[in-house]
């Protein structure tokens, strides 16, 4: 067990054909899905920062969050990490934050 609890893996979704549909109806292929369900601050922020740092320009990343405080923190830090918030989607288990790497 690490400093922030059990280690979760970040799934590389691009090869599996995973995608997300925005409220506008636009469907985007995902390069990564970052699972932060059940995690609290600062783990979602750290995982998002790491994913954006590893992403190529134009990659779309979905961050899954169920902690409202973490959601606010992640959304606020996206511009500072070289990303663009495309949309925040409310789901049954939390939110999906869809980010494009600049």
Answer yes or no: are the C-beta atoms of 73 and 97 closer than 8 Å.
no
- Asked if residue 63 is part of any domain, the answer here is yes
Whole-prediction pTM:
0.85
- Asked if residue 9 is part of any domain, the answer here is no
What CA–CA distances, in Å, run from 81 to 7, 19, 52, 97, 99? 23, 22, 7, 14, 11
Q: Which of 93, 47, 40, 91 is nearest to 67 (CA)?
A: 40
Confidence of residue 16 (pLDDT cuts 50, 70, 90): low
Q: Give the whole-angstrom CA distance, residue 83 versus residue 3.
A: 27
Query: pLDDT by residue (tens digit) across 18-67?
Result: 999 999 999 999 999 999 999 999 999 999 999 999 999 999 999 999 99
- Asked if residue 27 is part of any domain, the answer here is yes
CATH number at residue 26: 3.30.110.40
Q: What is the mean pLDDT of the chain?
A: 88
- Asked if residue 30 is part of any domain, the answer here is yes
pLDDT of residue 17: 76
- Asked if residue 49 is part of any domain, the answer here is yes
Give the total number of structural domains in the chain: 1
- Asked if residue 64 is part of any domain, the answer here is yes
């Amino acid at each position: 067990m690490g400093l922030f609890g059990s280690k979760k893996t970040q799934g590389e979704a691009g090869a599996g054909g995973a995608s997300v549909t925005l409220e506008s109806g636009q469907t985007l292929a995902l390069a990564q899905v970052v699972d932060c369900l059940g995690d609290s601050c600062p783990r979602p922020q750290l995982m998002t920062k790491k994913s954006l740092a590893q992403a190529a320009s134009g990659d779309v990343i979905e961050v899954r969050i169920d902690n409202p405080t973490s959601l606010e923190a992640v959304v606020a830090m996206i511009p500072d990490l070289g990303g663009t918030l495309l949309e925040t989607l409310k789901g049954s288990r939390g939110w999906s934050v869809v980010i494009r790497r600049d």
